[in-house]
């Protein structure tokens, strides 16, 4: 009887390991296939003019994505300016004031739902509250959409990192007469800064390649523009439009832009992993 139970458990264990290993190999295979395809076609489309010239008109053999690169950097910067304070304050309230109360648990539940919300729905939401009332697309509305996608990640990471900080550190600071805001900014934030920064980098990597919300909010601009209240060129939408175009040089630029975007996201992910490895929260 005991032997049959052992054999059954052993067979289940071996089968599970084989299935998990096979699933891992399938995932890694398609990952490297995507990376190799993007690398192969992306390097073929790399050209110095991509960084110093704006997108060319159709029917020419010119190259240029300067306006798209600058536009994307502006969108990401404004998104960070909006998303970091909101996410940081929200996560801080959950960890330092809400604790495990019913209101805090409800906020965490809604935040977890927002983590998996489709980005196209966020784009439609911002379109309804900003683009439609304004009557035109704008970079500001695109930044708001990206910030909404980023905020739940920062809230979740901040909440978890601050919850790891030992209560004795807070009690020691309070015993010295420090007010609550000093305890938070000088003690708990400082102790959890590596983890919080990791969450911000993960959120930035999450929104870097988003296309759907930008199609409904900022759209695109063929020319160089830094006006937040009008349409602005950006890399994700340029990739989408150029990949569907019949022009060979536009398709090459789409591959090159996709390759550069992947490199940027990969760099952010590696930096985030490095910071995550340095997290040593005092207990």
**What tokens does 121 get?**
């729905």
Cβ proximity of 94 and 107 under 8 Å: yes
Chain centre distance of CA 232: 20
Which pTM does this prediction carry?
0.87
Gap between the Cα atoms of 116 and 119, Å rounded = 9
| pLDDT score recorded for residue 281 | 46
CATH class of the domain whose range is 50-277: mainly alpha
- Segment 30-78, tens digit of pLDDT: 989 988 999 999 988 888 999 999 998 888 888 999 999 999 999 999 9
What average pLDDT does the chain have? 89
- Segment 87-145, tens digit of pLDDT: 999 999 999 998 888 999 999 999 999 998 899 999 999 999 999 999 999 999 999 99
- Give the residue from 192, 200, 184 showing the smallest Cα distance to 280: 192
Q: Rounded to whole angstroms, what are the CA distances from 265 to 178, 206, 215, 245?
A: 40, 8, 20, 25
Confidence of residue 280 (pLDDT cuts 50, 70, 90): low
Rg of the chain over all Cα atoms, to the nearest angstrom:
23
Gap between the Cα atoms of 18 and 8, Å rounded = 15
- Segment 179-213, tens digit of pLDDT: 888 899 889 998 888 889 888 988 998 899 899 99
């Amino acid at each position: 009887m005991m032997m049959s139970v052992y054999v059954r458990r052993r067979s289940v264990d071996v089968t599970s390991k084989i299935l998990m290993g096979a699933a891992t190999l399938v995932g890694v295979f398609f990952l490297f296939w995507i990376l190799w395809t993007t690398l192969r076609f992306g390097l073929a489309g790399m050209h110095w003019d991509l960084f110093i010239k704006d997108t060319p008109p159709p029917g020419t053999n010119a190259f240029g994505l300067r306006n798209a690169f600058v536009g994307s950097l502006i969108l990401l910067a404004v998104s960070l300016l909006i998303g970091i304070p909101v996410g940081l304050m929200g996560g801080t309230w959950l960890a330092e004031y809400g604790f495990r109360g019913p209101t805090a648990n409800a906020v965490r539940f809604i935040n977890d739902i927002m983590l998996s919300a489709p980005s196209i729905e966020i784009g439609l939401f911002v379109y309804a509250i900003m683009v439609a009332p304004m009557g035109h697309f704008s970079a500001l509305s695109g930044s708001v959409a990206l910030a909404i996608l980023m905020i739940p990640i920062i809230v979740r990471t901040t909440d978890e990192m601050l919850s790891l900080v030992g209560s004795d550190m807070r009690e020691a600071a309070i015993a010295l007469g420090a007010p609550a805001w000093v305890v938070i900014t000088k003690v708990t934030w400082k102790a959890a800064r590596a983890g919080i920064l990791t969450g911000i980098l993960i959120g930035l990597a999450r929104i870097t390649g988003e296309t759907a919300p930008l199609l409904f909010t900022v759209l695109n601009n063929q020319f160089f523009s830094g006006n937040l209240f009008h349409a602005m060129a950006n890399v994700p939408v340029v990739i989408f439009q150029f990949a569907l175009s019949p022009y060979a040089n536009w398709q090459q630029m789409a591959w090159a832009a996709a390759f550069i975007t992947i490199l940027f996201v990969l760099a952010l992910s590696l930096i985030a992993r490095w910071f995550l490895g340095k997290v040593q929260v005092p207990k």
